[in-house]
Every structure is written in structure tokens, then in C-alpha cells.
Amino acid sequence: MGITAEVDVKATAEDIEGSGKSPNITSFARIRTAYVEDPDYLFVILSLKHRVYSQKNEASKLIDGIMEVVGHRSYDLKYLSVSDLSYNPALGTGQIQVKDIHYISLETRTTWDFCRLLDQKYLASSKNTIESWHQLAAKYGWIKTNE
């Protein structure tokens, strides 16, 4: 028996200040829909911290580079703490982001609690209203309509 999961890999540089801050993870509508369709949905974030070494190849005149992975962590998106998740209204229905991929706290929650958290993040944006949420809910099948 296997387990199916989606994995989003985020690679961040160890030696660049600010690397790993607020990466886009997935769209609000996409992730909300995935959990409505399958409450056991698994979305894993794999965080790789790397260091890059490079030197000029005198024969080819190109730069040869080596990326060394110096650290890694993985997280189930559903369990990231409230303070670690944020919503950016840019790009389509908005993007779920992680404030800092290197410093994560986890909170146990149900799929229903996670969907409510996503909705709260969406509605906290000054761009969004309960009416815009309702339009998305009807479009993506999160609620039943008489139509």
C-alpha cells in the first residue's frame, strides 16, 4: 500500500540573507479545493538549504557550479502554525505563503480546521470579501448551490 502526496521543493541559499522568506507555496483556491475533494490530501513542503560553489572553466570559458545541500526539513502544509502561514492576494485567487521556511512551528489540526484557517487568511486580506469567497466556493464546489 502506498501513500500519495504532492511535494513542493523550496531550495534556499544558506549564505544569502533573506533567502527562504515568504516563498509562494500554492494558490488558495487550488489547495482549498484539494482538501475539500480529499480530506486525507497530503501536501508536503520539502525545504532544502544549499551552498553553491563555482569556478570558471578555462577550457570551456563557462562557469562550473556545484550545489551542496547542507540542510533539509519537510513539513505537512496542513500542520504549519497559524503564525507561519500567510496569504498574498497577488496572482489569481491569491497565494499561500510561509513567512520563513527555515523557522516553522507545527500545530495539530483537522482538515476542517485547516480549511477554516485558509478561509480566515483569505478573508483577512483587504482585497477579499465574503462575497468574493462565496463566488470561489460556488465555482470550485466547496458549497452546494441551487443552480
Count of C-beta atoms within a 10 Å radius of residue 71: 12
The predicted pLDDT at position 133 comes to 95
For the chain, list the domains and their CATH numbers: 6-140 (3.40.600.10)
> Helix, strand, or coil here: 79?
helix
The predicted pLDDT at position 40 comes to 93
The predicted pLDDT at position 19 comes to 72
Which parts of the chain have pLDDT scores under 70? 20, 147
Alpha helices, DSSP H, located in the chain: 28-37, 111-124, 130-140
Q: What nine digits make up the cell of 97?
A: 505563503
Whether the CB-CB separation of 26 and 96 falls below 8 Å is answered with yes
The predicted pLDDT at position 33 comes to 96
The predicted pLDDT at position 53 comes to 87
> CA 30, 34, 35, 37 torsion: positive or negative?
positive
**What's the CA gap between 139 and 123, in Å, rounded?**
17
pTM of structure: 0.82
